[in-house]
Chain A
């Protein structure tokens, strides 16, 4: 069965320091993976997606993620955090089953950025 585990429920960093949000997935075949961000009282916005092309995926706002099949991981990184990055981040795996596409969401990681 497909599943997603976000290893940290909360991450706190200082402005200007690197960000690492960890995600492991379980999938019986090559998955499609996404990271979404949700700012307070807002909808979810797509940050980036992996679709079996390049294993290093660049997204918006300086974020990137690396797909590592051997580790079944898809960690999200950013070299330098900005105050505006404070939000909740969701790692998502997509599967096609029973004739439809289904997104399976991780529990989310809340990122706090301190001055």
Chain B
């Protein structure tokens, strides 16, 4: 158990809909990262938040957005869903002081499996 929790575990929805995925980081971790894992694209970094502020963006679509709240939990919002958005969405957290500490490993949650029909 990494200490990172994600809800829900599974989500089935229809095209055009909007969903929200939730992540609670490990106690004491200030950074939250979101990843998408699909069969054709592999693991892709979407976005990072550090202590409530957006820190970095990866391959995140404009239809997707995220935020990190004062209690450090994070939500990933996916809107106007398409069939191709079906994937496993992972949240990870790290201590990440924000400096060049690239050895700060990330701890991953169990993921949310999104199926768009």
Q: Whole-angstrom distance from the CB of B56 to the nearest CB of chain A?
A: 4
Which residues of B approach A to under 8 Å, CB–CB? Answer: 2, 4, 31, 33, 42-43, 45, 48, 50, 55-56, 58, 90, 92, 94, 96, 98, 100-111
Known: A43-B2, A44-B90, A46-B107. A95 touches B56 (CB 8 A): no
Which residues of A approach B to under 8 Å, CB–CB? Answer: 31-32, 34, 36, 42-46, 49, 51, 90, 94-96, 98-103, 105, 107-108
Residue of B nearest to A31 (CB): B102
Instruction: Say what secondary structure dominates the interface of chain A.
Output: strand
Known: A45-B2, A105-B43. A96 touches B101 (CB 8 A): yes
Which of A31, A46, A101 is the one whose CB lies under 8 Å from B96?
A: A101
Q: Whole-angstrom distance from the CB of A95 to the nearest CB of chain B?
A: 6
Q: How far is the CA of A99 from the CA of B105 in the complex (A)?
A: 16
